[in-house]
Structure 1
């Protein structure tokens, strides 16, 4: 009984060691989701597994400052630093959303040392889907 439990624990610890090993990924995809309120940058490997991510909120910005281009730039630099530590060198950029941080996030990824292979806009466009929110009366 005890030997079976010990062998299970050894197998679990071996699996944990394998999982925690530092992955090296040379190329990946940077998904930039820029909304009016926040900007999220997720860097994945070509299969779609997340390598690194950052957002304006996780970079320390609060409230309306999260939607600014500078906040998107800081978030992109943080995500890029994490991905470069994993050995990533080139990224294909996929942007989504109408936010102010789109271009500044792409510039920050390039300045961080990534070779940008392509930039695609993958913003979903409705074919007359949901009713939009009512116009604001200020």
Structure 2
């Protein structure tokens, strides 16, 4: 594999630092990359990357999703990011690995998964 070509995007904003919001649910992984104010630069999901059904929830799908979103954001000049992870899905760690592998410098990783202080009643347990 050679060097990855990153082309400059049309209407480029030239943003050097941003925030990667990773939502890893049990069924899907969604990565949206924003600037410091919260305006979305690029986003990607497992369905957008042509994963269907049970393949959307895999760790490999999360890695591909993260790299796809990062590639589009790097076209706008993004170099370093803060990662905010939420959700209990399989794609948590592999999404971070995907962002790191594409060449972005990770400043910090924050877990923002909402944890209830005994709020709503949880869904029924699965019996297999």
Matches of 2:121 and 2:107, distance apart in 1: 36
Unaligned stretches of 5+ residues in structure 1: 1-19
- Tell whether 2:59 aligns with 1:69: yes
Larger RCO (alpha carbons 8 Å, 6+ apart): 2
> What is the correspondence of 1:1-138 to structure 2 with a 5 Å cutoff?
21-138=11-128
User: Paired residues, what number?
Assistant: 119
What's the TM-score once normalised by structure 1's chain length?
A: 0.84
Q: Unaligned stretches of 5+ in structure 2?
A: 1-9
Q: Which has the larger radius of gyration?
A: 1
Q: Which residue of 1 aligns with 2:3?
A: none
Q: Which runs of 4+ in 1 moved over 4 A?
A: none
Distance 1:137 1:91 in 2: 40
- Greater percentage in helix: 1
